Chain A
Amino acid sequence: MNFSKRLLKLAGDYPDREIIHFLKTGESDQHLTYRALIEGAGRYQAALRSRNVLQGEVVILILQQSIELVYAYFGTILNGSIPSIMPFLTEKLLPEKYRKDLVSLIEITQPSAILTYCDFIDELSEIQANNAFIKALLFSEEIETGADVLAGTGNYPGIERDGDDIVLLQHSSGSTGLQKGVALTHQAVFHQLDCYSKTIRLSSRDVIVSWLPLYHDMGLIACFLMPILYNIPLVIMSPFDWVRAPHRLFQAISHYRGTLCWLPNFAYNFCAQKIRPADMEGIELSTLRAVINCSEPMRRSSHQAFLERFSQYGLQPSAIATCYAMAENVFAVTQDGIDKAVTYDEIDQETFQKDKIARKVFNNRPSIYQVSAGKPIANTQVRIMDGDGRELPDRHVGEIVIKSNCMLTGYYHREDETVNSFSEGWFKTGDLGYLAEGELYVSGRKKDLIIVGGKNVYPQDIEAVVNEVEGVHPGRCVAFGVFNEEKGTEDVVVIAELERDFAEKDRQVADQIRKMVTQSTAVALRQVYLVNDFWLIKTSSGKIARAANKEKYLFETGHHAG
C-alpha cells in the first residue's frame, strides 16, 4: 500500500465526504471533500510533472498553514515525490537568518523543487543559481491560474511507489533540526497508523480537531495524515490564529462535535489561563473523548488546571490522555488514558533525585508526581538502558530505547547521524525515563534539547546567535531550558559572559541578545543572565558544560530544588 493508492481509493469510495474543515479567522469555514482534495492536489501534481520533478525527489514546501498547503502536500505525494514542510517565515524572524536555515536544509536535502509564494522569487532564484539540483521553483499563486491546471490527466506517478520507498521527510526547526530530516517510508507510516488507530480506538464516530503546525510530527501525523488517510473528519486551523484566540479551538470542538484533540502540555495551561469566560459562552465539550497530551514534559498540575477550567462546559475527566511520541517512530511510542484513566505515579522525591530510582512514596516523605505516558503501542518495544547499554530493571531511570516496525529509514543524507542513533538495533531516543507496571514515565533528557511550547529548540542554535552580539565574550555563553510550572513548559535562559568594556552597558547588551535570539530563532528568552569573566564552567575538553552551568545558575538565582 502507498499514500496515493489509499487517498485515491478513499476519493473513489467517498467522493463527497467532507474530510477537512479549514477554519480561518475572519473567513467562513472551508469544507473540503475527498474529490476537491484530489482536484486541488492534482493541480500541484501537474505543475510538478510539467517541471520534470520526478518520483523519489524531494519537494520543499514553504507555505502558511492553509488549504493550499494541504493541496501542495498531497500533490507532491501524488507525483511520487517526497514532501518536506519548512516552517513559514514569521514577521519576527530575520529574513537573513531564515535564509541561512533554508540553505542549510537545501544543501543537505538536495530538493528538486521548492514550492512557495511569489514574494520569495528573488531570494529563491539566487539560491537556485547556487544549487543546480533545484530544477524548479513553483509559486502557489501561479498554480491555480496557470496552464498547468489543464495538464492534469489523473495518471498519478505516486501510485507506483513501493511501500518501502520514502514518502516524506520531517524536520525539527532551527539550523540543527533542519539538517536532520527524518525519512519515513509509506509502510512505516501505515504500520504506525494501523497500530495507533487501534490503540486509540479510532472509529467513524470520531472527529479530530487541531491547531497544530504541519511541520511537527504531532500535527502532521496524528492530526493530518491519520484523519485524511483513515477517513476521519479533520477540523484544522492555523497555529498563528489559535495562539491569538485559543477559544477558537473549543468553538470548533463544540460546533463540529470534536472527539479527539492532541495538545502539547503548555496548551493545557495556556487555555486554562487565557480564555475569557465570555468567549466560552454556549460551548459544549462533552463530545471530547480524548485530549491527548504529547510532545513535551507532562504535568499533573496542567491536567488539573485544564479540568478545573473546562469541566463546567462538559469536559469529562476521563478525556485526559497522554502519549509519548517522536518522528523517528513516525509518531506514538506509548499511549495512556484511552481504556483507563492516566496513571499518576507518586514517588519519593529524594530517592528519585539522588539515586535516580522512582520509589513509591513511603512514610509521608516529600513526594512528586510523575505522569504516565502509558504502555508501548503494540508494534513498539521500549527498554530502559544504562550508560553501558545494559537493560535496567523497573523503576530505574535510564535512557529510553525503542524498536519497532515503523522506525525511520534514516536521517536523510545523514548516514553518520543515523548510525550514531542506533545501538544493536535499538533506537536511542536521548530521553530519560523509567518503566513501572509496564507503563513508561519520561522524566528528562540526556540530549541537549529545549522544548518550549511543544517546539524543539537546539541550544547550540541560540548560542550561535548570542555569540554574535557585541559585548558578549565570543564562545562564552550557554542556553538551556528551565521548567516553568505556571506556563507548563520550559523557559529559555541565556547566560553570557560580558567583555570588560561592556560592564556598564549590560541592559543594552541584554536587550540586544533578546532581540537577536527572537528574530533568529523565534524563541523569546525568559532571562538573560550576564556574568563576568570566568563564571562559566567548562568541561575538561574546553567546551561550555550546559548541565553544570544550569545547576550553577539555579543555585545562584535561588531556583534550586534540592
Chain B
Amino acid sequence: MDKNEIIEKLGKKICEDILKDTGRILAPDEVLISSGLIDSFSLVDLALIAEQMFGVRIEDYELNADTFDNLEQLAEIIVERKG
C-alpha cells in the first residue's frame, strides 16, 4: 500500500469516525492537531485507527503535533513502521 492510498483511507476513516462528517474531504496537508480539528479526546482514536487499519502502533507520547500534524505526516510514519 503506498502513501497516497494510506492518506486516502485514513482521511475517510477520520472523517467518518472522529469528525462524524462523511461529506468532508481532508487535504493531505490539512492541519489536524494544532488547529484543534481533532480534539484531545480523539487523539487516542487516531492511534487506534492506525493500529486497526495498518497494524502500526502510535505510542501515546507521540500523540502530539510535534510528531505529526496532518495526514501526510501520519502516513509517512505508518509507511516507515510497516517497513
Contact = CB atoms under 8 A, between A and B. Distances in A.
A274 B61 contact: no
B34 A91 contact: yes
A25 interface: yes
Given A25-B60, A276-B48, A453-B41, A91 B65 contact: yes
Contacts of A487: 41
Given A270-B41, A274-B44, A276-B48, A244 B34 contact: no
B43 to A, nearest CB: 6
Given A241-B60, A244-B63, A245-B60, A514 B34 contact: no
Interface in A493-522: 514-515, 517-519, 522
Contacts of A522: 36
Contact-residue size bin, chain B (C-beta under 8 Å from the other chain): 20 to 34
A518 B35 contact: yes
B16 interface: no
B44 A246 contact: yes
A244 B39 CA distance: 11
A92 interface: yes
Contacts of B65: 91
Interface string A222-249: 0000000000000000001101111010
Interface in B14-60: 20, 33-45, 48, 51, 60
B4 interface: no
A425 interface: no
Contact of B48 (A91, A274, A515): A274
Nearest to B23: A507
A558 interface: no
Interface string A187-221: 00000000000000000000000000000000000
Given A25-B60, A91-B64, A244-B61, A514 B36 contact: yes
B39 A518 contact: yes
A240 B39 CA distance: 12
Interface string B54-82: 00000011011100000000000000000
A25 B44 contact: no
Given A25-B61, A244-B63, A276-B48, A92 B41 contact: no
Nearest to A524: B39
A514 B33 CA distance: 13
A26 interface: yes
A515 B35 CA distance: 6
A243 B43 contact: yes
B60 to A, nearest CB: 4
B36 to A, nearest CB: 3
B45 A274 contact: yes
A244 B45 CA distance: 9
Given A243-B41, A243-B44, A246-B44, A519 B36 contact: yes
A340 interface: no
A360 interface: no
Contacts of A515: 35-37
Contacts of B20: 526
Contacts of A266: 41
Interface of A: 25-26, 90-92, 240-241, 243-246, 248, 266, 270, 274, 276, 453, 487, 514-515, 517-519, 522-524, 526
Given A243-B40, A244-B63, 8 more contacts: A25-B61, A92-B39, A266-B41, A270-B41, A514-B36, A515-B35, A515-B37, A523-B39
Interface of B: 20, 33-45, 48, 51, 60-61, 63-65
11 contacts: A26-B61, A91-B33, A91-B34, A240-B40, A243-B44, A244-B61, A274-B48, A487-B41, A515-B37, A518-B37, A519-B35
